[in-house]
Structure 1
C-alpha cells in the first residue's frame, strides 16, 4: 500500500512537509491543521491524502486499479470538489508505475465525469458531485411473483461425485450423434459472407426451419399446421412460461398429470395457478375423473408417452379431452417431448391432429433426439395464439441463434434427421430391452413399470414397504445413481418409485446397475 499526499504549494513548503512527516513519523490529515503545523511554509492552497494500493499480480490492469480508487475517493469525499490532482508524471513517480499508466487512469476518470481538465493548470475534482451515503446492502422488495419463485424448490443438476453407473434421465450417448455432418452444416454458413449472419433473425424463428418442421410434423406426427403456426423457442420451459403469462391469472385452476413434469408444476404455481392433479394410469390422463367443480380452462398433458410414468393416452380419452376443451372453452398443451422414440411400432399420431378447433398447443423439442446442449424446441400454436405469443416472446427473447436453426433446417431437409432417428431407435430400443430383461431377471415380481417401449427412461414402482430415500442412498453406496420418484408425484404420500434413464449407458453398465439395485431391494 502506498500513501499518496496530494499537495500543491511552493517547493519549500513541500520540502518542509515531508521533513515533518518522516522526522516525526506522522501522516498528516486535514483535521490535524496543516497550516499550523507548517506555518513557516506559508498558506496551504490544498491538501488531501488517500491510499492507492497497487496489486501488481492482479489480472486487473494497473490503470484501472488507479482509476477505480480515484473514483471511490471522489465519491466518498476523501477528494473534495475543486481539488487539484498531481500531474501524471508526479503520481507515476509516487506509485512507481509508467506515466502512460497514470495518463490512462486520468483519461478514464475524466471521461466518466469525476475530474475535469483546466488548460495550463491541471486536473481538478469536478464540482458539485453528490456524495454517496454510507454503503449498506440492497434489500430487494420482491413482487408476489418473486416470492412465489423464491419459495420454489430448486434441484441442482450438478453432481459432485458422479457414480460409476449413472441412470440419469434425458442424457444422450455422444457417440451416436453424427458430429461430422453437424460440423459440415455449420461450416457451410460460417464459410460464406451470407447476410444471414449479419442481422438478427425472426422472433418466430428461421423460416426454412419452420417450413421443414411443418412438413416433417405433418408426415410423421399427423400435425395439421402451416409454417406460420410454428415458432422456434429456447426450450420447452419458455413455451410454458409465455403461455402462463398470456393465459393464467392468480387463482386459476390448471389440470395436470401426476406423476408429471415438475418444471411445469413450478411455472404454473409461480403465476399463482392452482394445480388440479389427476393420477395417470396405463391409458394416460383420466379425463373422466376431472372434478365437476373444477374451473380449469387449461390442461397440460403428455399423451404420446406419459412423463415420467410411461404409457400412452388411449383414443377414447383423447376424444374425451377434446370434448372437455369444447365444453369449457379450454386449451390443451400437448407436450410431445420424445414422441419420435417408439421402439416396437410407429408412435400414435399427436393429439393436435384430432383437433379441428384450434384448442391444442403442440410442444416438441430437439434436446432428446439431437443433444441437450442445443436448447432448442418448437411449438405449434393455434392461429389465434400466434400473434400474442410471438409479441410476448419478442419482449423477453429476440430469437434463437439463426446459425443453429439454419443447420437444423438442413439437417432435416437433407435426410440426416430421419437417418439419425432410425439409428437412435435401434440403439435405444436395444438398451431399453436390456433394462427390461435385467429387471425381470434380478427383480422378478418386485417392481412394476409401464410396458410401452418408448422414451429414454423407465419409472419403477417399488414394493409398498420400500423406503425410497433409503434405497437411493444404499444404491449410491454401490456407486450407482438413480433418481427418486417422489418429486414427480403430487399425491401425498407418494408411492415409492425410482427413475432409471438408460440412454447414456452401455448395455453392460445397465446390466450391472440393475444387479446392484437388486442387492438393495432384495428378491
Structure 2
C-alpha cells in the first residue's frame, strides 16, 4: 500500500485545473486495468490514503464510491475495500474463428485484416463522393418534459445569433457539423461521460437513428451480421434490418449483454449495445462484461456501436462512465442525442468515431444527408458553453427523480409488491412487470383506448418474449397527473392482466 500511495502521490498534479477527485479516480482505474493493483488487493482506508496524498478524505471517499459503482472494487463492511476481478474471460475472447473461414495469409502481425476498416459499400461511397470540403402524455416512455425547457434562454441566444446575420449559418453544414458545437460537446462528454475524444472525432447528426445508419453504411456490407441485445430498441433494430444486415439477438442478464458459446464462434461485424442503461430493461453492463466485449472486439475486428441514449439521468448515484472511455483499440463508435436532455424536436445528435475514421465519416454524412441546421447547432453550442446544459440536466434529474418516485409509490399503493418495477435506477421510464399469462400488447392497446400511453415489452423482443411488462414513462407527466393517470392504467391492468383467464373469457 505504501507503494501505491507513493505512486499516486507522484502522479497527482495539484497545480492542474483538473480536480483532484478526477485525477485520483483515473489513476486508480488505470492501476486496476493495467494490473498494478491486482484482483483481490486491499485498498488502504480512505483516511490513510487521504493523509498520504494530502487531499481531503471526502475526495478519497467519493473516488472509492465511484470505483464501487463502476465495478472496479468491492467493499465489505468491517473488512475493507478490495480490487474486483474484472479480467476478460479468456475462454470467450480467445474463441477461434470457425474453420470454414480460414485466416488470410496477408493478415499482418498486428491482426489487421486486408479488408481494412471500411466496408466495400462504404469505401465505394467515399471514393465516388461529390461533396466539397466546403411525441407526449402519461405514460409515454423516453420523452422529456419539454415544458420545463428554458425557452427564454434559448430564444435570447438565438436572437443574438440571428442579429449578427452570419450567412455561413444559413447554408449546408460542413462535414461533421458546426465546429464550435463539436468543441463544446467534446468538453462536455469528457466530463459528463468520460468519453475520450477531440472535436475532430465528433460528427453531428440528426439523432441516434442517423448515427447508427451512417455507421452501418460505412462499416458493414449487405449480409454482414450485427449483434443486438435481446430485447432491444425497435427503432435501432429497424435501422439495422433496413440496411441489409443479418441480426443475431444476444440475450441480456443482470450484467448486460451475455453472448453464448455459439454466438462467440461467429463474430459479427457490428455489435449494438446500451451498456450504461440497457434499453428497455435498464440493467448496467458490468465492468467484467465490458472488458470482455472490448477484448473480443479487438481480437475479431468487431465494431461496437455504443448507444448512450439517456445515461445522464441516473438516480441515487453518479452517471456511469462510457464504454468508449475504456476502449484502447479504437473499436467503439459512441452515439448520443440531445433530444432527451433538451427537447426531441431539436433533432441534433452526435457520434464519436476513432480518429482514423473521422475524415471518412465527415465525407459520408455530408454526401448522404446534406446536413443543415447550422443556426440550431450554433445556438446549442452557445447553450452548452455558457453552462446552461449542465444546469438544465442537473435540474431535470431532480425533477424526473421526484416523478419516478411518485409513480413507484402509485404502483405500490395499487398493487403492493404483486407487480415488479424493473430498470428504475436511471433513464426516463421503468418496466412494470406483468404476470406470465398476461398479453402485454393487449394491455397496452386497452390502456391507449383509455387515454394512457404505455409500450408492451413484447415489442422489443425479436425472437421470443422472456418477460411480460409495460414500458412506463414518467418524465413528461406533471406531478399532480401521475396518480390519476396511473389509477386509469391500474384499472386496465386489473381487468386485462390480473383477472383469472376464465373470467377474462367470460368478459369477452
Whether TM-score is above 0.5 comes out as yes
2:350 counterpart (378, 396, 401):
378
Corresponding residue for 2:291? Answer: 319
1:475 counterpart (447, 467, 485):
447
Displacement after TM superposition at 1:444 (Å): 2.4
2:429 counterpart (457, 481, 485):
457
Displacement after TM superposition at 1:283 (Å): 1.8
Task: Give the secondary-structure state (helix, strand or coil) at the position aligned to 2:227.
Answer: strand
Corresponding residue for 2:81? Answer: none
1:262 counterpart (234, 250, 267):
234
Corresponding residue for 1:513? Answer: 485
Q: Would you say the 8 A contact 1:325–1:359 is kept in 2?
A: yes
Tell me how far apart the structure 2 counterparts of residues 254 and 267 of structure 1 sit (CA, whole Å).
11
Matched, 1:176 2:153: no
Tell me how far apart the structure 2 counterparts of residues 220 and 397 of structure 1 sit (CA, whole Å).
29
Q: Would you say the 8 A contact 1:233–1:400 is kept in 2?
A: no
Stretches of structure 2 lacking an aligned partner (at least 5 in a row)? 1-134, 499-508
Corresponding residue for 1:419? Answer: 391
Task: Give the secondary-structure state (helix, strand or coil) at the position aligned to 2:247.
Answer: strand
2:309 counterpart (311, 330, 337):
337
Matched, 1:437 2:412: no
1:404 counterpart (366, 373, 376):
376
Corresponding residue for 1:351? Answer: 323
Corresponding residue for 1:277? Answer: 249
Matched, 1:226 2:198: yes
Q: Which has the higher contact order (CA 8 A, sep 6+)?
A: 2
Q: Would you say the 8 A contact 1:471–1:520 is kept in 2?
A: yes
CA deviation profile, 1:219-271 (whole Å, cap 9, x unmatched): 11111111100111111111111111112222211111011111221121122
Q: Would you say the 8 A contact 1:252–1:295 is kept in 2?
A: no
Q: Would you say the 8 A contact 1:261–1:488 is kept in 2?
A: yes
Corresponding residue for 2:138? Answer: 166
CA deviation profile, 1:35-90 (whole Å, cap 9, x unmatched): xxxxxxxxxxxxxxxxxxxxxxxxxxxxxxxxxxxxxxxxxxxxxxxxxxxxxxxx
Corresponding residue for 1:503? Answer: 475
Q: Would you say the 8 A contact 2:231–2:280 is kept in 1?
A: yes
Displacement after TM superposition at 1:170 (Å): 2.4
Q: Would you say the 8 A contact 1:287–1:317 is kept in 2?
A: no
Tell me how far apart the structure 2 counterparts of residues 302 and 293 of structure 1 sit (CA, whole Å).
22
Query: How many aligned positions are there?
Result: 361
Cα distance change on mapping 1:392 and 1:451 into 2, 3 Å: closer
TM-score normalized with structure 1 length: 0.66
Stretches of structure 1 lacking an aligned partner (at least 5 in a row)? 1-156
CA deviation profile, 1:336-386 (whole Å, cap 9, x unmatched): 011111121111110000001111011110000110000000100011221
Q: Pairwise mapping of residues 109-148 of structure 1 onto structure 2 (< 5 A)?
A: none
Displacement after TM superposition at 1:305 (Å): 0.9
Cα distance change on mapping 1:448 and 1:373 into 2, 3 Å: same
Q: Would you say the 8 A contact 2:423–2:431 is kept in 1?
A: no
Task: Give the secondary-structure state (helix, strand or coil) at the position aligned to 2:257.
Answer: coil
Matched, 1:388 2:360: yes
Corresponding residue for 2:219? Answer: 247
Corresponding residue for 2:121? Answer: none
Give the structure with higher Rg (CA).
Answer: 1
Displacement after TM superposition at 1:287 (Å): 4.1
